[in-house]
Every structure is written in C-alpha cells, then in structure tokens.
Amino acid sequence: MDLLEPTFSDTTDLILRAVAFAAHKHRDQRRKDKEASPYINHPIELAHVLWDEGAVRDPLVIAAALLHDTLEDTETSWQELRGEFGEEIADIVLEVTDTHWIKKEVRKRLQVAKAKHSSERARLVKLADKICNVRDLGTRAPANWSLERKRQYYDWAKEVVDRLRGTHAELERRFDEVYALKP
C-alpha cells in the first residue's frame, strides 16, 4: 500500500472537518429564497452533486466544494484555510472565489475568462456550483428575482460551463439537463 495514499479514515476526517468549518462560518447566513434556507445547504449540495452524480472521489475536491464560499462570503482568510486544510484546498477555494470589490458585471466576465484556465479540481467545484445554482433558480429562486434576471443567470452560467467543457462529461450533461429547463 502506498503510504502517501489517504486512508478512508483520513478522507472521512477531512470531509467532516470541512463540513463543520463551513457550517460554523456560514452559521448566520441564509439563502435568498422565500424560505430563507440555511446557507450551509448550498455547499453540502455541491459535495452531494460531485459525490453522487459525478462519482468524484477526490477528498480535496469534496472538501473544497464544502468550503467554496468561505473566502467570498465570510470573514475567512486564505491563510486560515491553509492552516486548517492545507495549501492545496486553500488554493482550490481561492480559484473559485469572486472578488467582491470588483463591480458585478466585471466579476461575471472574469469568471467566464478564468474558467478555462483553472485547475481541474477548481473546474469540478465550479461545475457543481453552476449545477446547484441553476437548479435552485428553478425550485427556490431568490424571492425578488424577475424572470429576466433568472434567464440572464442561466445564460451566464452556461457561458462559464461552456469554458469548462471537457472537464467531466457527466457533470456537464447534468448541467445541460437543468439548463434545458430555462424559463
């Protein structure tokens, strides 16, 4: 057995620590849907999509999916993530993080431009994020979003995913299925 290969116990510990960390960091956050769902449901759903629908078994990807919004939406720093989870996971999370001080339209264009040049692990997290976000628009969209805003999000998400094509055929197919339901 390769001594560098993580054991089931190591993998389980990493994923459970990532869930606990994300739950703590997002503890006071709610989604913008009518029910104001707990925010932590979103990162857990990403991990679920990767594991169950994409058969992704890389524990670094699953942990990064659980942590993917901590830099963007909480007071977490890259250094804190690195200290808790290591540089590889912190870097994946950083790759999928938007910079909030840039105007929204510029951030969206940057996300499209950066998608193709991201690491494979970051592309997997981004694919799962777009699948979950588009699914949520169909079932529990933000209460104040107009039909036009939803349509614009669908199209922008497709632009990002189109730059990720060739990363994971099954996840790309899943995105295409939910995109086909565009209102």
Q: What residues are annotated to the active site?
A: 72-73
> Are the C-beta atoms of 46 and 132 separated by less than 8 Å?
yes
Task: Please give the Cα distance from 29 to 13 (Å, whole number).
Answer: 25
- Cα–Cα distances (Å) from 130 to 18, 20, 111, 161, 178, in that order, read 20, 23, 12, 7, 10
CA distance 93 to 91: 5
Nearest to 38 by CA among 18, 53, 55, 22: 22
Q: At residue 142, what are phi and psi to the nearest 5 degrees? A: -55, 140
In this structure, the chain runs to a length of 183
> How many beta carbons lie within 10 A of that of residue 12, not counting itself?
12
